[in-house]
Amino acid sequence: MFNKNQRIIAFLLLIVLTVLLFPHKGYAQDIKSAPFQIDFIDVGQGDAALVKCDGHYMLIDGGSASKSSLIYSYLKSRSIKNIDVMVATHPDEDHIGGLSGALNYANVGLALCPVTQHSTKTFQSFVKYLGAQGRTITVPKAGQYFMLGSAVVYILGPTYISDEANNNSIVLRIVYGKASFLFTGDAETEEENAILNSGQAVQSTVLKVAHHGSDSSTGYQFLRAVAPKYAVISVGSENSYGHPTENTLSRLRDAGAQVLRTDLQGDIVCTTDGNYITFYVQRNANINTLANAGPGQNQDLSYLTPSGNSAPDNQAGIPDRYVSDAGNNQSAQSYSYVLNTNSHNFHRPECSSVNDMKEKNKQYFNGSREEAIALGYEPCKRCNP
């Protein structure tokens, strides 16, 4: 009745129809939207994390230059055209290379980096693309904080300038409700100890493990203070550095942290409503992420189902406690000025212009008038701050 070719065509049509009628449900569709989300983007050997809160975005590092197009399309596919804050934790290529991709797609409000000058080509192109948007680098100081939507972002480090670029990494802690997140760049024990000595609160629900799991970071003392419930390692598979090291993995195991790894699990997405935390991974939800930590017990990763079960987060940092422990004892509302990241004017909080300002251009700033001016902002002519 049908010849062989017709049968093949009919069979292929059947496959196409099946795929059309029953599309494969990827993990991206499974992610339930939450007011707060962090995407740890798999950039191989490097770091890149996109933080979203109440429609505001912060991009922390962008992976190496070879990942520029990945970062570009990651933002484009999600129509993220405005990034309120871009953080280049330190000038190493595996952190800032891909930021050029972001700068080619999205407008950036504030760009933070621990230095304004660095000899590498990668750094110069980062500065060039920023300049094309009329932006320059702002060097943040430990002790400052700003708002990303309703989340508070505290700058914990660097607390002093080290000779070692990794130890000048911007370290920041994000607090959203009872959940807190610590981003450490490539900070090593030297910077970890300096931050501990500064007396700032570090305790966090989720730790972005420093320096891709290198042995020179994530010391016992620091881990004890951070007490993370979850630890995310952004690292390339079979990288030449041997990251993450056996020692770091076993310290994380001793600390009782659930470890997630981009080399084994691809993109890792974390969402929270401020009370519960959910992780979604692109692949290998139930893999033993501590497999190369030497002989040890298997982890129970049953909470990590790709469809996203909420797991109660008993260890979450309580903001109240944080404020009293932190030495940052101003409440989040006691900001001194409101910066307009679009016009580059700054205002007193009660200025009538603040009400007219688009929410996405508002940056709540806790600092002096001089600091606001040093950041490139001009005093508003109406409220004369």
Site for Zn ion, rule CB under 5 A: 92, 94, 166, 186
Residue closer to Zn ion by CB (options 94, 267) is 94
Q: Which is nearer to Zn ion, 85 or 96 (CB)?
A: 96
Cβ pair 112, 139 in contact under 8 A: yes
Shortest reach from residue 337's CB to Zn ion, in Å: 33
- How far is the C-alpha of 290 from the C-alpha of 277, rounded, in Å? 21
Q: What number of other Cβ atoms are within 10 A of residue 250's Cβ? A: 16
Q: How far is the CB of 142 from Zn ion (least distance, A)?
A: 19
Instruction: For tokens 């130890």, name the residue.
Output: 167
Considering the complex, state which of residue 109 and residue 236 has its C-beta at the smaller distance from Zn ion: 236
By C-beta, is 82 or 89 nearer to Zn ion?
89
Q: How far is the CB of 118 from Zn ion (least distance, A)?
A: 12
- How many other β-carbons are positioned within 10 Å of the β-carbon of residue 218? 31
Q: How far is the CB of 61 from Zn ion (least distance, A)?
A: 8
Compute the half-sphere exposure of residue 291: CA atoms within 13 Å on the CB side of its CA. Answer: 9
Rg of the Cα trace of the chain?
22
**Nearest in space to 55 (alpha carbons), one of 182, 183, 148, 176:** 148
Q: How far is the CB of 89 from Zn ion (least distance, A)?
A: 8
Min separation Cβ 252 and Zn ion, Å: 18
365 forms beta bridges with 146, 337
Q: Quote the least distance from Cβ 207 to Zn ion, whole Å.
A: 16
Nearer to Zn ion, 34 or 259 (CB): 259
From 246, 285, 293, 245, select the one nearest 265 (Cα to Cα): 285
Question: Nearest to residue 292, comparing CAs of 250, 256, 260, 232?
Answer: 250
Closest separation between CB of residue 199 and Zn ion, Å?
26
C-alpha to C-alpha distance for 360 and 83, rounded to whole angstroms: 9
- Provide the β-strand partners of residue 207: 182, 231
Residue (39 or 92) nearer to Zn ion, CB: 92
Nearest approach, Cβ of residue 43 and Zn ion (Å): 10
Selection from 109, 117, 219 nearest residue 168 by Cα: 117
> Which residue, 61 or 313, is less far from Zn ion as judged by CB?
61
- Complex with Zn ion: residue 114 or 149, whichever CB lies closer: 114
Spatial CB neighbours of 355, under 8 Å, sequence gap ≥ 6: none
Burial class (CB in 10 A: 0-12, 13-18, 19+), 299: middle
Environment class of 323 (CB within 10 Å of its CB; exposed 0-12, middle 13-18, buried 19+): middle
Q: Output 234 or 271, the one with its CB closest to Zn ion.
A: 234
